[in-house]
Chains A and B, each alone.
Chain A
Amino acid sequence: MRNRFQKILATLATTAAIALPAVSASAQDVIKVGILHSLSGTMAISETTLKDVMLMLIEEQNKKGGLLGKKLEAVVVDPASNWPLFAEKARELLTKDKVAATFGCWTSVSRKSVLPVFEELNGILFYPVQYEGEESSRNIFYTGAAPNQQAIPAVDYLMENEGVERWVLEGTDYVYPRTTNKILEAYLKSKGVKDEDISINYTPFGHSDWQTRVAEIKKFGSAGKKTAVVSTINGDANVPFYKELANQGIKATDIPVIAFSVGEEELAGIDTKPLVGHLAAWNYFQSVDTPENKDFIAKWKAFTKNDKRVTNDPMEAHVIGFNMWVKAVEKAGTTDPDKVIDALIGVSVPNLSGGYSTMMPNHHITKPVLIGEIQEDGQFSIVSQTPGLVVGDEWSDYLEGSKDLIADWRAPLSCGNFNVKTGKCGGQGPVAQ
Chain B
Amino acid sequence: MPRLLCVILALVCALLAAPARSAPADAGEALALIASGRFPDIEKGVDLLARSGNTHAQAIIEALRDGRLAVAADRRVLIQQDGGRWSDAATGDALAEAPAAPKTVRINNRIRRAVEAAVGALTLMAPDAEARRQAAEAVFRSRDAAALSALDEAIAREEVPYIKRLMGEARAAILLGDAGASDLQKLEAIDILAARADQDALALLRAATQGSPVVSAAAEAAVASVEQRLALLSMLQNVWYGLSLGSVLLLAAIGLAITFGVMGIINMAHGEMVMIGAYTTFVIQEFVRSHAPGLFDWTLPVAIPMAFLVAALVGAAIERGIIRHLYGRPLETLLATWGVSLILQQAVRSIFGPTNREVGAPSYMAGSFDLGGLAITYGRLWIVLFSLAVFAALMVALKATSFGLRIRAVTQNRRMAASMGIRTPWVDTMAFALGSGIAGMAGVALSQIDNVSPNLGQSYIVDSFMVVVFGGVGNLWGTLVSALTLGIANKFLEPFAGAVLGKILLLVFLILFIQKRPRGLFALKGRAVEA
Q: Do A and B come from one complex?
A: yes
The residues of A with any CB-CB pair to B shorter than 8 Å are 2, 5-6, 9-10, 13-14, 16-17, 39-42, 44-45, 48-49, 161-162, 173, 201-204, 206-209, 211-213, 215-216, 218-219, 222-224, 236, 239-240, 243-244, 246-249, 252-254, 256, 265-266, 268-271, 274, 277, 279, 373, 381, 383
Can you list 11 residue pairs at the A/B interface with Cβ under 8 Å?
Answer: A9-B339, A9-B343, A9-B346, A42-B455, A45-B354, A204-B500, A204-B503, A211-B380, A224-B203, A269-B356, A373-B108
B interface, over-half SS: helix
* Chain B interface residue bracket vs A: 35 or more
Task: Please state if B499 and A213 are interface contacts (CB–CB under 8 Å).
Answer: yes
Is B315 an interface position by the 8 A CB rule?
no
Residues on A with C-beta less than 8 A from B490 are 209
CB contact between A212 and one of B106, B238, B355, B361 (< 8 Å): that residue: B238
Chain A residue at minimum C-beta to C-beta distance from B495: A212
- With A243-B449, A253-B116 given, is the CB distance from A209 to B248 under 8 Å? yes
Chain A residues whose CB sits within 8 angstroms of the CB of B199 once the complex forms = 218-219, 222
In the assembled complex, the CB of B384 is this many whole angstroms from the nearest CB of chain A, namely 12
B67 nearest CB across to chain A (Å): 8
| B367 on interface, CB distance cutoff 8 Å | yes
CB-CB under 8 A from B339, the residues of chain A are 5, 9
- Whether B495 lies near A249 (C-beta < 8 A) is no
Residues 407-453 of B contacting A (Cβ, < 8 Å): 448-453
Known pairs A13-B343, A224-B206, A277-B112; A271 contacts B358 (CB<8 A): yes
Residues of A contacting B358 in the complex (Cβ-Cβ under 8 angstroms): 268-271
Q: Kindly state whether residue B335 has any CB partner on chain A within 8 Å.
A: yes
Count CB-based A-B contacts (< 8 Å). Answer: 168
| Cβ-defined partner of B368 (8 Å) among A9, A14, A247, A277 | A247
Please state if B108 and A383 are interface contacts (CB–CB under 8 Å).
Answer: yes
Asked if A17 and B350 sit within 8 Å, CB to CB, the answer is yes
CB-based contact A249/B368 at 8 Å: yes
Residues on A with beta carbons closer than 8 Å to the beta carbon of B354: 39, 44-45, 48-49
8 more A-B residue pairs beyond the given contacts A201-B498, A247-B368, with a C-beta to C-beta distance below 8 A: A45-B453, A206-B455, A211-B380, A212-B491, A212-B499, A247-B378, A277-B112, A383-B39
State the CA gap A173–B345 with chains docked (Å).
25
- CB of B44 within 8 A of chain A? no
The 6 A-B pairs at the shortest CB distance, nearest first, are namely A269-B356, A13-B346, A222-B199, A247-B377, A224-B203, A203-B499
Min CB gap B335→A, angstroms:
7
In the complex, which residues of chain A have a beta carbon less than 8 angstroms from the beta carbon of B450? 208, 239-240
A222/B202 contact (C-beta < 8 A), A45-B455, A161-B39 known: yes
Q: Please pick, from A9, A45, A244, the residue contacting B356 in the complex, using a CB distance under 8 A.
A: A45
Q: Are B451 and A240 in contact (CB under 8 A)?
A: yes
Q: With both chains docked as a complex, state the minimum distance between the C-beta of B65 and any C-beta of chain A, in angstroms.
A: 10
B245 within 8 A of A: yes
B357 near A269: Cβ-Cβ < 8 Å: yes
> Residue B241 at the A interface, CB < 8 A?
yes
Residues of chain B within 8 A (CB-CB) of A48 are 353-355
Name the CB-closest residue of B to A237.
B451
Instruction: Evaluate contact between A211 and B108: CB separation under 8 angstroms.
Output: no
Contact yes or no, B112 A44, CB < 8 A = no
